[in-house]
Structure 1
Amino acid sequence: MVTCPEGHRSAALDYCDVCGAPVGEPPPTVAAPRCPACGAPSGGRFCEECGHDSALSPLPGPPASDPYPREVTPAVAEPATVRASPVIWIATVTADRAFYDRVLAREGPDADRVEFPAYYPPRRITLRGNEILIGKRSVSQGLHPGIDLGIAPADAGVSRAHALLHLTPTGLTVTDLGSTNGTSLNDSDDLIPAEQPVALHSGDRVHVGAWTTITLITEPA
């Protein structure tokens, strides 16, 4: 039995049996507090399930304005830029008998007075800087070649400033500097044009003078 606002006793719980006045809605059900750690119902300071102390600082969670956690897409790392491995250029200077024989066969300049050396150990030179002069050292002319071919036994057919190697990040070129006997490549009898750079590749051979061959290769730095 309930009592309506007019004081009548009513068996009905919604409207009074006597006057029909609304009896009133039952008080709203209050949800029991839950543990912020495990979510179990908890009415005291310490959770009966996990023992969490509700008096401590609140556990980290989603912001109040966003009660539902959102799926976070992991950041995808940008692929690292692949760079070509740095290389160094190596010049190996040798006395080339086959080149000497070709010079004699075509009766090149100075062929009648230049002899092939009896002993000429290969010289290995690492190219440094952007411009490497091929020639013969001359203090009076201020010439200090990176590849000095004036060391005995010297090739008489090589000019003081014979050719120039130009090294760039993308490759290597050779330019004949107007030498007396010219410059050729890779066993060819054709001389490269003077004052015009020609691209070189690893393994190319540069022929100067009467018997000197300079082989150029790349190696990992």
Structure 2
Amino acid sequence: MPICADGHPTAATDYCDVCGSTLTPAPTELRVCPHCSAPAGGRFCETCGHDSALPLPTPRPSPEQSGQSAVGAPSQSLDAPVWVARVFADREFYTRVQARKGPDAERVAFPDFYPERRITLRGNQFLIGKRSTSQGIVPEIDLGIAPADLGVSRAHALLQLDDHGALTVTDLGSTNGTSLDGAETPIPPQQPIALRDGSRIHVGGWTTIAITGEYQPLSPPGP
């Protein structure tokens, strides 16, 4: 039953039965076209002609979203970006360490062969160091695999990933320190330092860990 502006219930729809005041019609619901967002009062939009009874077409993903390069065949579907650590023997870093004669410079030799490793960082904490069963140290980035860098400490540094996907590195008080992006000065110990796509972490006498953000293929669906 309609109610007038003074709060009187009334059976009439134009004037109040109690006080005679004019009734204001209830506003109609504002509708917009789901296709072009123009005001639409009926089934068919007067602006673009869209039939609201039909579903909207599914938009085509961009090449970046679909995993297809601008020129070339489509690749596998891609998941969200993840951080990847690329571990390799860095001759340039080794030369800098030898020039400044670090604590272990005299006994650290550059390896004749060191296969590059790529480690996907899944989780939120990643220890950089050397495995020690007796001390219970099990690094996610184990630099004790032969040929080992003698300048790397058992628990050398820590990578941490926060809830927003930001990555930091913290030196854990290592003997030879941790430096970034070719800098001669090590980062302060026990202080998280923000990393970015392309950051290079230098540890020990010749080891560099390059950080990149990459898209990984989606895992195949289960049975």
- TM-score after normalising by structure 1: 0.63
Deviations 1:190-218 (A, max 9, x none): 00000011000010000000000000011
Deviates more, 1:206-215 or 1:137-146: 137-146
Cα RMSD for the two superposed structures: 2.5
User: SS in structure 1 opposite 2:191?
Assistant: coil
The equivalent residue for 2:174 is: 179
Helix, strand or coil: the match of 2:107? Answer: coil
Structure 1 spans left out of the alignment, 5+ residues: 1-63, 80-84
Q: Which residue, 74, 78, 87 being the options, matches 2:31?
A: 74
Q: Does 1:141 align with 2:135?
A: yes
2:29, 2:192 → 1: CA distance? 58
- Name the counterpart of 1:30: none
Asked whether 1:159 is paired with 2:153, we answer yes
Structure 1 position 169, deviation (Å): 2.9
Does structure 1 residue 100 correspond to structure 2 residue 57? no
Task: Tell me which residue corresponds to 1:201.
Answer: 196
Matched, 1:109 2:103: yes
CA distance in 1, matches of 2:163, 2:124: 9
1:211 corresponds to 2:206: yes
How far did 1:65 drift?
6.0
CA 194–72 in structure 1, closer or farther in 2 if over 3 Å, else same: closer
Deviations 1:75-129 (A, max 9, x none): 577x9xxxxx942000000000000000000011111111100011110000121
2:177 aligned with 1:190: no
Structure 2, unpaired ranges of 5+: 1-11, 15-24, 38-78, 217-223
Q: Give the share of equivalent positions with the same residue, in percent.
A: 61
Distance in 1, Cα, partners of 2:181 & 2:201? 7
Distance 1:71 1:175 in 2: 61
User: Who is 2:113 aligned against?
Assistant: 119
Q: Give the distance between the partners of 2:175 and 2:28, measured in 1 at CA.
A: 77
State the alpha-carbon separation in 2 of the partners of residues 150 and 140 from structure 1. 14
Measure the CA separation in 2 of the matches of 1:219 and 1:169: 18
Distance in 1 of aligned mates of 2:168 and 2:29: 54
- The one-letter amino acid paired with 1:179 is S
Runs of 4+ in 1 over 4 A off after TM superposition: none
SS of equivalent residue, structure 2 residue 183: coil
Partner of 2:4: none
